C-alpha cells in the first residue's frame, strides 16, 4: 500500500519545484517530482532527487539530538544532552552576556538553508526582541545588486513575471546560469520561449550553448558592454524619448558616456567581437525585450555600478511596464501575494536598530574578544560558505566565544559549536514555500515526524524564548496561527489544507504587470539614471563605463558559481553526490595551463595572500585566458586538504552594500 503527499522544495533556488512523496509500508518515503507542477513537470533536479532520498532521510547522517561540546573547538567532540539542559544552559549564558555587555554582544548569522517562510523568518523574532547584532545575510550573496536597483528603480525585488515571455521577442540572460541555478527554467521556460535568447557570461555554460547568441565577455567588464549596447541602440534610433522624458531623470547626463562607448572601444574593453555587440543590440532593439540579471553579475568589485549600468537598457529603450518587457533580479513573490514578511520576522519587536555586520567583516570582527561574546549560526554553514575560511576558523576557535549552531546535519560549522541543536528538515513540518522567480506559492507539508529529537527552527526559538523567561506573545505564536494568518493575507479562496491538496498556486491567473503605472519608489518617483542619493552615499551620480583591472602578474580571476550537484553547500555530504561530482577541479584555458606548466589531470595549487587550496586541473578550451572556474559548495572537512574555495576568497568588498566580490578572487596557479 502506498499513499502520496504533495509538498514543495524550499531550497534557495529560482525554480521552486513541486514534490510528491510516496509513503510506502515499512519503507523509506520516496521523494519525487510533482507531475502537476508547471515549472518542474514531474521531475526534481538531479541533486535533490539524490539527496532527498539520501542524506536527508538518513538518521546516521543527520543531527538527531542536542549536543554539548566536550573537546577542543573544531574537533566535533560532543556529548548528548536533553533539550531542557541545552536551552537552560544557553539561556543562562545569554542572560549573563546581556546583563554585563548588552544584547549587541550577541550576534546571529543565518541565511539560505531553508527558505520556507516560517523556518526562515520566525527565529528573527527572537533575535529582534533580544536586540541582537546580525550578520547581514545578503552581504554574502546579492546586497550590491539590491542597493544598485534601489538607486535606479527604487525597488530590487519587483522583476518581470516569467509568464510574460510569450510577449517578448528577446531575452537577455546576463550573469546567470540557469542550466545550474534554475535547471527547470533552463530546460522548459527558455527552450519553449519564442524570444531570441542572448546570454552574457564569461563561461560557455549549457544555457549559453543553447542560446541564439552568447557574448563571452571578460568578467567584470559588464558596465562597458552595457554602455556599448546603449551606444548601438542610440545610433539605431530606438531610444524611447517619450518614456525617457516622462519616466526618468538624468538621461542627459548619461548621454556623453553613451556616445563615447562605440563598438570598437567596447570590444577592446570586454573582449566581445564588434559583430556580436551589434547583433545583441539588434535583437534587444526588436523588442519587446526582457532582461534577467543573475546574482553573479554583481559579485564583482564594481558589482553595484555594473547593475546600475546594465539596468539602463530597459530605461533608455522604454522596455518597462509593458507585456514582454522588464528586468528581473528577484521577485518578492510572498510580498506580492500579500504576506507581511516584516511581521513574520518580528521587525517591530526590535526596540532599537542593532548592529549589522557584513559577511566580509565577520572574521576580523569575531576574532575581537571584546565585541561579540555569543554567536548563533542557524540555517547557514559559514565555515563552508563565507570568505577568509582560515581566519574565520581561528575566530570560531576563540574560547570565550559562546557558539550555538542549528542545522540538520553535522557540518564544518557545527564542529566549532559549544552547543549543537538539531533542526527538523522540510519533510518534517508544515510551512509555506515560494519561488523568487516564478510567481507561485506552495505548501510545505509534513510527511514524517522530525528525525530523532530534532525540531523546526521556529520551535527551537519558541522554546529558547521560554527558557529566557520572555513572555512577549509574538515569540510563541504557533505554526497553525502563522499559516492561517498568511493564508488570510493572501486570500486565494482556500485555506492551508486546500493549498496542501493543490500543492501550489500562482498568485495571479494572468501575468502580473510590473511597473505598469510607471511610478518608481525613488526619491523623484522616476527612474534615477542620475541619483542624488548615490552621490550622498559617496557613489558616482551616474553609472560609469568602467571595467575591472585585469589580474596582474599572471594571476587568474577565479569564478566559483553554482554547481549542478550542490545547492550552495547543501548536499556536499551526500555520498552519491560526492561520487557523481568527482574530486574538486579547476578549469583553466590551454594558454594559462601552458604558462603555469600544468597538464590536464595534474594536481595544482591555487594561492594568494589569503590562502592556498589544492585541486585537480582540467584544461578547458572554452575558458577565457586569465579566467579560472571551480564550482562552489564542497565541504572543507571532506576535502583532502580540509578547505574549499573560500580559503582563497579574500573578502574584498563590492562597491555597494558591503557585499561580496567573490567572482573577482585572484589566484596564482601552480603545479603541486
Ligand X SMILES: Nc1nc2c(c(=O)[nH]1)N[C@H]1C(S)=C(S)[C@@H](COP(=O)(O)OP(=O)(O)OC[C@H]3O[C@@H](n4cnc5c(=O)[nH]c(N)nc54)[C@H](O)[C@@H]3O)O[C@H]1N2
| DSSP codes, 180-233 | HHSHHIIIIIHHH--SEEEEE-SS--HHHHHSSEEE-PPTT-HHHHHHHHHHHH
Residue 474 Cβ vs ligand X, minimum distance, rounded to whole Å: 20
Q: Which of residues 44-63 bind ligand SF4 (CB under 6 A)?
A: 44-45, 48
- According to DSSP, the residues that pair with 506 across neighbouring strands are 440
Q: Which of residues 274-333 bind ligand SF4 (CB under 6 A)?
A: none
Q: Is the bond preceding 591 in cis, omega lying within 30 degrees of 0? A: no
Write the Ramachandran bin of 37: left for phi over 0, alpha for psi from -120 to 50, otherwise beta.
Answer: beta
Burial of residue 581, with CB atoms counted within 10 A of its CB: 0-12 exposed, 13-18 middle, 19 or more buried: buried
Residue 12 Cβ vs Mo ion, minimum distance, rounded to whole Å: 6
Interaction of residue 17 with ligand SF4, rule CB under 6 A: yes
Cα 652 from Cα 224, distance rounded (Å): 22
Residue 123 Cβ vs ligand X, minimum distance, rounded to whole Å: 8
Residue 663 Cβ vs ligand X, minimum distance, rounded to whole Å: 4
Which phi and psi angles does 20 have, rounded to 5°?
Answer: -120, 130
Nearer to Mo ion, 9 or 141 (CB): 141
Question: Which range binds ligand SF4 by CB under 6 A, 11-19, 293-301, 314-322, 550-558?
Answer: 11-19
Residue 21 Cβ vs ligand SF4, minimum distance, rounded to whole Å: 13
**Pair type for strands 665-671 and 556-559:** antiparallel
Nearer to ligand SF4, 40 or 544 (CB): 40
Q: Residues 129, 443: contact at Cβ < 8 Å?
A: no
- How far CA 79 is from CA of 69, 76, 85, in Å, comes to 6, 10, 12
Interaction of residue 420 with ligand X, rule CB under 6 A: no
Among 143, 320, 447, 567, binds ligand X (CB under 6 A): 567
Match 539520501 to its residue by C-alpha cell.
Answer: 54
Interaction of residue 319 with ligand X, rule CB under 6 A: no
- According to DSSP, the residues that pair with 358 across neighbouring strands are 136
Question: Which range binds ligand X by CB under 6 A, 173-181, 247-255, 314-322, 586-594?
Answer: 173-181
Question: Which range binds ligand SF4 by CB under 6 A, 7-15, 272-280, 343-351, 616-624?
Answer: 7-15
Residue 587 Cβ vs ligand SF4, minimum distance, rounded to whole Å: 23
Interaction of residue 13 with ligand SF4, rule CB under 6 A: yes
Give SS3 for 245.
helix
Cα 215 from Cα 543, distance rounded (Å): 21
| DSSP codes, 301-363 | TTHHHHHHHHTHHHHHHT-SSSTT-EEES---HHHHTT--HHHHTTGGG-SS---EEEGGGHH
**Count of residues near ligand SF4 by CB under 6 A:** 13
Cα 638 from Cα 352, distance rounded (Å): 42
Nearer to ligand SF4, 580 or 597 (CB): 580
Residue 15 Cβ vs ligand SF4, minimum distance, rounded to whole Å: 4
Interaction of residue 40 with ligand SF4, rule CB under 6 A: yes
Interaction of residue 635 with ligand X, rule CB under 6 A: no
Residue 177, contacted partner among ligand X, Mo ion, ligand SF4, none, CB below 5-8 A by kind: ligand X
Q: Which of residues 233-272 bind ligand SF4 (CB under 6 A)?
A: none
Match 538553508 to its residue by C-alpha cell.
Answer: 113
- For the CA atoms of the chain, what is the radius of gyration? 25
- According to DSSP, the residues that pair with 108 across neighbouring strands are 134, 376
* Per-residue contact flags (x/-) with ligand SF4 for residues 167 to 206, judged by CB under 6 A: ----------------xx----------------------
Nearer to ligand X, 433 or 563 (CB): 563
Interaction of residue 162 with ligand X, rule CB under 6 A: no
Residue with smallest beta-carbon separation from ligand X: 113
Cα 311 from Cα 291, distance rounded (Å): 8
Q: Residues 427, 7: contact at Cβ < 8 Å?
A: yes
Nearer to ligand SF4, 13 or 424 (CB): 13
Cα 383 from Cα 389, distance rounded (Å): 6
Residue 181 Cβ vs ligand SF4, minimum distance, rounded to whole Å: 8
Q: Residues 580, 644: contact at Cβ < 8 Å?
A: no
Among 97, 141, 232, 483, binds Mo ion (CB under 5 A): 141
* Per-residue contact flags (x/-) with Mo ion for residues 355 to 384, judged by CB under 5 A: ------------------------------
Give SS3 for 148.
helix
Q: Can you give the binding site for ligand SF4, defined by CB under 6 A?
A: 9, 11, 13, 15-17, 40, 44-45, 48, 183-184, 567
Q: Can you give the binding site for ligand X, defined by CB under 6 A?
A: 12-13, 111-114, 119, 140-141, 174-177, 180-181, 200-203, 205, 219-220, 222, 294-297, 300, 378-382, 384-385, 406-409, 411, 423, 457, 559-564, 566-570, 632-633, 645-646, 649, 662-663
Q: Can you give the binding site for Mo ion, defined by CB under 5 A?
A: 141
Amino acid at each position: 500500500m502506498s499513499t502520496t503527499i504533495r509538498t514543495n522544495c524550499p531550497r534557495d533556488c529560482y525554480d521552486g519545484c513541486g514534490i510528491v512523496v510516496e509513503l510506502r509500508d515499512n519503507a523509506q518515503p520516496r521523494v519525487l517530482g510533482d507531475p502537476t507542477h508547471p515549472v518542474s513537470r514531474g521531475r526534481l533536479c538531479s541533486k535533490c532527487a539524490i539527496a532527498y532520498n539520501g542524506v536527508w532521510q538518513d538518521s546516521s547522517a543527520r543531527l538527531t539530538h542536542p549536543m554539548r561540546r566536550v573537546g577542543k573547538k573544531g574537533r566535533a567532540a560532543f556529548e548528548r544532552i536533553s533539550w531542557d539542559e541545552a536551552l537552560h544552559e544557553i539561556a543562562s549564558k545569554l542572560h549573563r552576556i546581556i546583563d554585563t555587555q548588552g544584547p549587541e554582544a550577541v550576534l546571529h548569522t543565518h541565511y539560505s538553508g531553508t527558505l520556507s517562510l516560517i523556518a526562515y523568518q520566525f527565529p528573527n523574532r527572537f533575535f529582534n526582541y533580544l536586540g541582537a547584532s546580525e550578520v547581514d545575510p545578503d552581504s554574502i550573496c546579492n546586497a550590491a545588486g539590491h542597493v544598485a536597483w534601489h538607486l535606479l528603480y527604487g525597488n530590487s525585488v519587483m522583476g518581470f513575471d516569467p509568464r510574460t515571455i510569450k510577449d517578448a521577442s528577446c531575452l537577455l540572460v546576463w550573469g546567470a546560469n540557469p542550466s545550474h541555478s534554475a535547471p527547470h527554467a533552463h530546460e522548459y521556460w527558455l527552450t519553449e520561449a519564442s524570444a531570441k535568447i542572448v546570454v552574457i557570461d564569461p563561461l560557455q555554460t549549457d544555457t549559453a550553448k543553447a542560446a541564439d547568441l552568447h557574448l563571452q565577455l571578460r568578467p567584470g567588464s559588464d558596465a562597458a558592454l552595457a554602455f556599448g549596447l546603449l551606444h548601438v541602440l542610440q545610433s539605431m534610433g530606438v531610444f524611447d524619448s517619450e518614456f525617457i522624458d516622462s519616466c526618468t531623470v538624468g538621461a542627459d547626463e548619461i548621454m556623453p558616456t553613451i556616445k563615447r562607448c562605440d563598438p570598437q572601444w567596447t570590444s577592446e574593453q570586454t573582449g566581445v567581437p564588434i559583430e556580436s555587440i551589434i547583433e545583441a543590440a539588434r535583437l534587444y532593439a526588436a523588442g519587446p525585450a526582457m532582461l534577467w540579471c543573475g546574482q553573479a553579475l554583481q559579485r564583482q568589485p564594481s558589482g553595484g555600478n555594473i547593475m546600475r549600468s546594465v539596468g539602463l537598457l530597459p530605461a533608455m529603450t522604454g522596455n518597462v511596464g509593458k507585456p514582454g518587457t522588464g528586468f528581473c533580479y528577484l521577485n518578492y513573490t510572498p510580498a506580492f501575494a500579500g504576506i507581511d514578511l516584516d511581521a513574520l520576522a518580528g521587525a517591530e519587536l526590535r526596540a532599537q536598530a542593532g548592529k549589522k555586520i557584513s559577511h566580509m567583516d565577520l572574521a576580523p570582527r569575531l576574532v575581537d574578544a571584546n565585541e561579540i561574546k555569543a554567536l548563533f549560526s542557524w540555517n547557514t554553514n559559514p565555515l563552508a560558505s563565507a570568505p577568509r575560511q582560515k581566519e574565520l576558523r581561528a575566530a570560531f576557535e576563540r574560547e570565550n566565544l559562546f557558539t550555538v549552531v542549528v542545522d540538520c546535519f553535522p557540518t564544518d560549522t557545527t564542529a566549532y559549536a559549544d552547543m549543537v541543536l538539531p533542526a527538523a528538515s522540510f519533510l518534517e513540518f508544515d510551512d509555506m514555500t515560494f519561488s523568487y522567480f516564478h510567481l507561485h506559492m506552495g505548501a510545505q507539508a509534513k510527511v514524517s515526524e522530525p528525525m530523532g529529537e530534532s525540531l523546526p527552527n521556529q520551535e527551537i526559538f519558541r522554546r529558547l524564548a521560554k527558557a529566557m523567561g520572555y513572555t512577549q506573545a509574538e515569540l510563541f505564536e504557533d505554526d497553525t496561527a502563522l499559516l492561517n494568518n498568511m493564508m488570510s493575507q493572501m486570500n486565494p479562496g482556500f485555506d492551508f489544507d486546500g493549498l496542501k491538496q493543490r500543492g501550489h498556486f500562482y498568485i495571479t491567473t494572468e501575468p502580473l504587470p510590473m511597473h505598469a503605472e510607471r511610478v518608481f519608489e525613488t526619491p523623484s518617483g522616476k527612474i534615477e539614471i542620475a541619483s542624488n542619493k548615490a552621490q550622498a552615499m559617496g557613489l558616482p551620480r551616474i553609472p560609469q563605463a568602467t571595467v575591472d583591472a585585469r589580474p596582474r602578474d599572471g594571476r587568474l580571476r577565479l569564478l566559483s558559481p553554482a554547481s549542478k550537484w550542490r545547492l550552495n553547500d547543501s548536499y556536499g555530504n551526500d555520498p552519491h553526490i560526492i561520487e557523481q561530482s568527482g574530486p574538486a577541479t579547476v578549469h583553466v584555458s590551454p594558454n594559462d595551463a601552458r604558462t603555469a606548466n600544468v597538464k590536464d589531470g595534474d594536481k595544482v595549487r591555487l594561492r594568494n595572500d589569503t590562502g592556498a587550496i589544492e585541486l585537480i586541473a582540467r584544461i578547458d578550451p572554452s575558458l577565457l585566458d586569465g579566467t579560472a572556474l571551480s564550482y562552489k559548495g564542497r565541504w572543507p572537512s571532506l576535502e583532502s586538504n580540509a578547505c574549499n574555495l573560500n580559503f582563497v576568497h579574500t573578502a574584498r568588498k563590492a562597491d555597494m552594500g558591503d557585499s561580496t566580490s567573490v567572482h573577482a578572487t585572484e589566484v596564482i596557479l601552480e603545479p603541486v
